[in-house]
Amino acid sequence: MISVVLPVWNEKKYLEVCLKSLENQNIKADEIIYVIDERTNDGSEVVCAEYGYQVILVAPGKLTARDVGVKAAKGDIIIACDSDTFYPSTFIQDVVNMFKDEKVIAVTGITDDLSALVPFHFRWKMLGCASAFRKWVYDAVGGFDLEIDQSKHGDMVQEEEKEFYNRINILGEIKRINTPVHSLRGLLKHRIDSSGE
């Protein structure tokens, strides 16, 4: 069973595009869990509820949201997505294909920037907006360190992408898929910069 865990905090302007991209996958997730920061005040929770999946309100913090979502998930494979990201139609299929090898315990994606050109051994991380892991692996390492100050973006990213990678890396193989995901923030910024607004 495949579970997508999607933290949300005031990202309504990106959310519909993200959710449609997840709905339009070649292989559908068995469940999508929207974990919404209780400070959200832009109507994101209404958009999520319209898609008919589970919505959970949580205390602030992306890692807290991800942790609550993972613990609520029924799937044995957890796909970590972000609400400001567009996922190509083969994204879930590509992730699932990697897990056919029992030695693979986690999968990380790439973004549409130059990360595809960087050898994997230099990437040393799980991409926060596009990664997946077996649920038992998350449990085995105690999940994310929720004691860090999640309001410090750099500390949060370090834990989610590098430290988590380092802890799970000893449990099995981590593979990379070459299906780039697209930052909706980057696309919006590019459009604004191009239009001169």
Q: What are the residue ranges spanned by the domains of the chain?
A: 2-195
Helix (H, G, I), strand (E, B) or coil at 4: strand
**What number does CATH give the domain 2-195?**
3.90.550.10
Grade residue 46 by pLDDT with cuts at 50, 70 and 90. Answer: confident
Q: Is the pLDDT of residue 8 over 50?
A: yes
The pLDDT score that the predictor gives to residue 192 is 40
Average pLDDT over residues 152-179: 93
- How would you classify the pairing of strands 31-37 and 104-111? unpaired
The reply to whether the predicted model has a pTM over 0.85 is yes
Lookup: tokens for 163: 């430290």
Q: Who has greater pLDDT, 192 or 175?
A: 175
* Per-residue pLDDT reduced to its tens digit, 66-124: 999 999 999 999 999 999 999 999 999 999 999 999 999 999 998 876 555 555 544 55
Backbone torsions φ then ψ of 137, nearest 5 degrees: -65, -45
> Distance of CA 66 to CAs 85, 187, 196, Å?
16, 24, 36
The pLDDT score that the predictor gives to residue 113 is 66
CA torsion angle 110 111 112 117 (round to 10): -40
